[in-house]
Amino acid sequence: FKSLPALFLFLIFLIILFAGKCSADILINEVMYDPEINDNYYEWIELYNPTNKPINLTGWKIADNYIEDSLEGNYDHGNGTMIIPPYGYGFITDHGTKFYDNFIIPNETIKIYVDDASICNGLGNSGDNLVLKDGQNKKVDEMEWIINYTDISGSPASSVLEGNSLSRYKNRDTNDSSKD
């Protein structure tokens, strides 16, 4: 019976260790690339964790054709956590965002910044792509809109009207942005 507490602590350690390393199945779920209000302050990306395990985004990056940004915990509008809980959401903005001043995001949504004043080099209103990479620089998810990029699987999603977001259909991933 004396080893039971040690076994319990060891199991907790393993859960924490592997929760941070699990990177499968995080999805780029929704993108606001052409907000009605100033693009410089109101672009955002929503991530979704469809798994039953928490996923730690420490060391992760988001990239487009030109720029790669590191993800950071948001202490201005959140608690700084980088862990998306099971079946939970994460919300990526830039450091200069004014989004939280005008819109309400549920408290349980993890708030994340990119490491500078714009998501990548700004999300392209006439076409762009996004690649989410884990801490080992492995591609976790990708998407494209309007323009067909050769390094992105499948076909691009169609454009959306200004002020509308591009959203994944039923949280599915077929590796084809036009179908997802």
pLDDT of 166 above 80: yes
Q: Which two tokens stand for residue 65?
A: 């054709």
Q: Which two tokens stand for residue 144?
A: 């494209």
Tens-place pLDDT, residues 89-109:
999 999 989 988 888 889 899
Question: What's the distance, Cα to Cα, between the start and end of the chain in Å?
Answer: 52
* 168: helix, strand or coil: coil
pTM of the model: 0.84
pLDDT at 39: 86
How large is the average pLDDT for residues 39-67? 95
* 17: helix, strand or coil: helix
**φ, ψ for residue 86, nearest 5 deg:** -55, 135
Q: Which two tokens stand for residue 142?
A: 């990708």
Tens-place pLDDT, residues 127-141:
999 999 999 999 999
Q: Taking the mean position of all CA atoms in its chain, how far away is CA 125?
A: 19
Alpha helices per DSSP H over the chain: 3-21, 39-42, 99-102
pLDDT at 54: 97
